[in-house]
């Protein structure tokens, strides 16, 4: 299955309206918090990708009843929460597939439990750094073992955790969230002070589940010992998934595409700011609030893009979208320079290396650096690209294929199903031309 191949063909225009895949970050957190809340949580529009399903299976193995009901609007998930003290020893390793989010957040939650657990993942996840969560969790009193700072990770029961003041050395919402979830059962206050703001879905959702939490700028504080109360979650469409359609509509001639119900959380919307600096015509319409998150419809029209400077502060607010932003940069006039993106080297693949390598094969002039790259805009030629089994690399280069001089063949695309199970179907519905081998 690993050698699923996308063939991306030149496209004429994109048009119509779409609701892209639901938000993966919010879907994970709704499952995690619903499982340890008191009462029944109802989740609509949950992303049914492989990553989120791995989270569901993990909590089912720890005794949480999670069922899917088919209703008129579509599948609805009901979670019968067991409270913060109601999880049971899983009896087997918790396999979390390709999901770094599930792995780090669940590790934080399990660090305070009075049973042993071992978290594992696939080959890609098993190379990703976990010392960044192990170190603060151990400071709090957790007993965690890892051979080399990567999965598998074993957690032993110990005494009560104690809150800490933590300054994350890397900008990572997953690390912040792991510490916050450990703090739910810790004694005293857990305090996190970030140097740059990162995604705040965990903070918003903890408040939505009734847990007292204080957020001031980039400082987050919570006291351990309170409870979560079940709630209703309606997951918005994922801006990270919408990003591929946004860039495609910007660079394919004569396009006008409306993307509905997209979450535009200001800690996530860096891609919109970056693309607008490049000259993108993106209208934000029908802005509204949905479950504590700002949601809107995005209307995207073909635009003449120009290169720009992208710095670390931009990257922190668009970390998952940088690969497809690089496609926009390669299709733009002039030079785009990206700095402060070294975190991309420890994602599902080394995304700096993968993007630079792919752009070079497409005939684009690119200079790779440790923390980013410089891209000179040009024309894409036909090429074969290795996605390195990274879903965002695969989808980004499928967008490049829309304006290439011939077909772009993208290898190792199976993991697209982790975040966007029906990507090809929806892409072709919009006017993109992708076939599957």
Order of strands across the sheet with 15-18? 15-18, 256-263, 293-301, 281-290
How far apart are alpha carbons 20 and 42 in whole angstroms? 21
Given 51, 314, 320, 390, which residue is catalytic?
320
Considering only CA atoms, which of 208, 214, 257 is closest in space to residue 235? 208
CA 248 and chain centroid, separation: 20
How far apart are alpha carbons 21 and 287 in whole angstroms? 19
**Total residues found in the chain within this entry:** 437
- H-state helical runs in 252-309: 270-277
What is 81-98 written as a DSSP string? EE-TT-----SS-EE-TT
Considering only CA atoms, which of 283, 278, 292 is closest in space to residue 211? 292
DSSP-derived pairing of the beta strands 38-44 and 232-234:
parallel
DSSP-derived pairing of the beta strands 65-71 and 15-18:
unpaired
Measuring CA to CA, how many Å separate 420 from each of 45, 47, 70, 187, 325? 13, 8, 20, 39, 18
Measuring CA to CA, how many Å separate 128 from each of 120, 350, 352? 11, 10, 15
CB 85 within 8 A of CB 64: no
Is 320 an annotated catalytic residue?
A: yes
Peptide bond connecting 152 to the previous residue in cis, omega within 30 degrees of 0:
yes
Placement of tokens 């980039």 in the chain: 218
Q: Using alpha carbons only, how large is the chain's radius of gyration in Å?
A: 21
Report the Cα–Cα distance between both ends of the chain, in Å, rounded. Answer: 11
Q: Which residues are catalytic?
A: 320
């Amino acid at each position: 299955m690993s050698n699923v191949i996308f063939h991306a063909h030149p496209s004429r225009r994109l048009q119509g309206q779409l609701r892209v895949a639901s938000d993966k970050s919010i879907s994970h957190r709704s499952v995690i918090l619903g499982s340890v809340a008191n009462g029944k949580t109802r989740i609509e529009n949950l992303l049914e990708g492989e990553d989120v399903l791995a989270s569901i299976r993990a909590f089912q193995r720890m005794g949480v009843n999670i069922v899917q009901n088919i209703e008129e609007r579509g599948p609805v998930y009901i979670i019968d929460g067991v409270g913060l003290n109601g999880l049971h020893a899983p009896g087997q390793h918790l396999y979390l597939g390709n999901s770094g989010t599930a792995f780090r957040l669940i590790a934080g939650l399990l660090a305070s439990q009075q049973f042993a657990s071992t978290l594992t993942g696939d080959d890609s996840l098993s190379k990703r750094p976990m010392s960044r969560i192990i170190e603060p969790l151990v400071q709090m009193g957790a007993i965690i073992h890892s051979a080399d700072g990567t999965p598998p990770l074993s957690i032993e029961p110990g005494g009560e955790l104690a809150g800490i003041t933590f300054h994350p050395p890397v900008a990572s919402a997953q690390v912040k969230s792991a510490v916050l979830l450990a703090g739910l059962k810790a004694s005293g206050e857990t305090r996190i002070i970030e140097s740059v703001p990162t995604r705040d879905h965990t903070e918003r959702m903890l408040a939505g589940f009734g847990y007292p939490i204080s957020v001031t700028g980039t400082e987050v504080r919570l006291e351990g010992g309170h409870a979560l109360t079940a709630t209703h979650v309606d997951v918005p469409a994922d801006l990270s998934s919408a990003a591929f359609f946004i860039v495609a509509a910007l660079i394919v001639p004569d396009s006008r595409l409306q993307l509905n119900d997209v979450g535009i959380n200001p800690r996530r919307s860096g891609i919109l700011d970056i693309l607008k600096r490049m000259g993108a015509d993106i209208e934000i319409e029908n802005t509204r609030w949905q479950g504590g998150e700002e949601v809107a419809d995005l209307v995207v029209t073909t635009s003449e893009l120009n290169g720009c400077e992208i710095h670390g502060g931009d990257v922190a607010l668009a970390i998952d979208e940088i690969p497809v932003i690089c496609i926009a940069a390669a299709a733009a006039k002039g030079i785009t320079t990206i700095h402060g993106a070294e975190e991309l080297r420890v994602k599902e693949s080394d995304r700096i290396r993968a993007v630079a390598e792919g752009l070079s094969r497409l005939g684009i002039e690119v200079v790779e650096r440790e923390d980013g790259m410089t891209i000179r805009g040009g024309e894409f030629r036909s090429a074969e690209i290795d996605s390195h089994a990274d879903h965002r690399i695969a989808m980004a280069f499928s967008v490049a294929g829309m304006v290439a001089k011939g077909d772009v063949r993208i290898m190792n695309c199976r993991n697209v199903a982790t975040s966007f199970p029906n990507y090809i179907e929806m892409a072709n519905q919009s006017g993109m031309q992708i076939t599957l081998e």
